[in-house]
Amino acid sequence: MSHPEQVDSIPAAKRAGKWNVSVYVPAAVKVCLQAEKERTGLPYTAILAATFDRVDPMELHSWLHQDQPATSGPRTGMPPSETWGRRGGGDQLQLRMTTEQREWLDGQVAYFHAPSRSALVAAVLRLGLPKG
C-alpha cells in the first residue's frame, strides 16, 4: 500500500496514468488519421503505434533528413526553419499516452534525430497511413 507522501515524492512525469501529449501535424495528415479512426474505431495513439510498425525505419530516416528546397515567396529576412513546409506543423492532436509510451516516443525522436516529436509523428503518419 502506498502512502500519500510517497506518491507526492514521485515526479509527475513518472507517475502511473495517462497524459495528453500534444503534437502538430499538417492538415492533410490529420484528415487521413481521422479517416483511419472512423474506419477502425481505434484511438489516435493505437493508430500511431500500428503505423510505426508498418513504416520502414530506413524510409522514415530518409524522409526526415532529405534536403529541402529553399522556401519561395516574399522573405522577411528571417531564416527559414528546417521544419517549414513538408514537415511543418498545422493542426494539433492530443495523444493519450502512458508514461512508458511517451518515453518510447521520445526515444524514437532521439534515435531518428527527428527535429521534434511533432515532426516524427507527422512523418510516420504520412508514410504509414492509407492515402485518403
Extents of the domains making up the chain? 26-64+85-132
Task: With 0.85 as the threshold, say if the pTM is over it.
Answer: no
DSSP-derived 3-state class of residue 93:
strand
- For the residues 109-124, what does the mean pLDDT come to? 95
Residue 131 has pLDDT above 60, yes or no: yes
Q: Which pLDDT tens digit goes with each residue over 71-94? A: 444 556 666 555 544 555 689 999
Binning pLDDT at 50, 70 and 90, where does residue 57 land?
very high
- For the residues 111-130, what does the mean pLDDT come to? 94
Across the chain, mean pLDDT equals: 82
> What is d(CA 10, CA 82) in angstroms, rounded to the nearest whole number?
37
- For the residues 40-66, what does the mean pLDDT come to? 95
User: In the 8-state DSSP scheme, what is residue 26?
Assistant: -
Q: Where is average pLDDT lowest: 65-69, 84-88, 96-100, 117-121? A: 84-88
- For the residues 59-80, what does the mean pLDDT come to? 68
> What is d(CA 65, CA 71) in angstroms, rounded to the nearest whole number?
16
Greater confidence (87 vs 62) lies with 62
Quick count: other Cβ atoms within 10 Å of Cβ 28? Answer: 15
Torsions phi, psi for 88 (to 5 deg): -65, 165
- For the residues 114-124, what does the mean pLDDT come to? 94
